[in-house]
Chain A
Amino acid sequence: QVQLVQSGAEVKKPGASVKVSCKASGYTFTSYDINWVRQAPGQGLEWMGWVNPNSGSTVYAQKFQGRVTITGNTSTSTAYMELSSLRSDDTAVYYCARERGNYHYYMDVWGKGTTVTVSS
């Protein structure tokens, strides 16, 4: 079945970077874009950006421009989200999600999430 399996929880100090992985299985990795969405404790969903694993093209939310890098490795069917210069308010659950649609895109399969805690 289609699955996105994310890496384990991380604890980082302010100013550090974190790299979260998302391994896809059950479908052709290069056929669908991967989005990253985060959720701070008690808050709503916040879209961060997406990657086209086939071309490597990316689009990032303005809020994260310059701090986030989303990539895809077609040989391992794995997407990555790296966030740098971490602050305490980056503490959140980070989700990857497969995207579908021909324009008016939506996310049909989600990973279980990776908790990132930023604390000194």
Chain B
Amino acid sequence: SYVLTQPPSVSVAPGKTARITCGENNIGIKSVHWYQQKPGQAPVLVIYYDNERPSGIPERFSGSNSGNTATLTISRVEAGDEADYYCQVWDSSSDHRLFGAGTKLTVL
């Protein structure tokens, strides 16, 4: 089972804003990272340290983290954004890395 709670699916029309959540008790005190995975491909880091974008990731991708919920926001959604998205944190007590179960983003 996964400690980090993500909705199984999110649907959005092209040009609109998609928000994908990642929930855990007091997740706001941790740093959350987000990965995009398209079918048949390896995951790609899209957000790290809650809201930092790696080079090459469009500004349309942003993140926030507060309280019990972290959120990945994709603005002006494009068909090419359709993918599975996973959140990930570091558990300091065990030195383990934890993933959410993933959210399938569908662009209508």
- Residues on A lying within 8 angstroms of B by beta carbon are 35, 37, 44-47, 50, 59, 61, 95, 97, 100-101, 103-108, 110-113
Contacts and interface: CB of A to CB of B under 8 A. Distances in A.
Interface of A is mostly: strand
Interface in B69-95: 84, 86, 88-90, 92, 94-95
B33 A106 contact: yes
Interface residues of B, number: 29
B42 interface: yes
B2 A44 contact: yes
Contacts of B90: 101, 103-105
A111 B42 contact: yes
A112 B38 CA distance: 12
A73 to B, nearest CB: 22
B42 A47 contact: no
Contacts of B33: 106-107
Contacts of B23: none
A110 B43 contact: yes
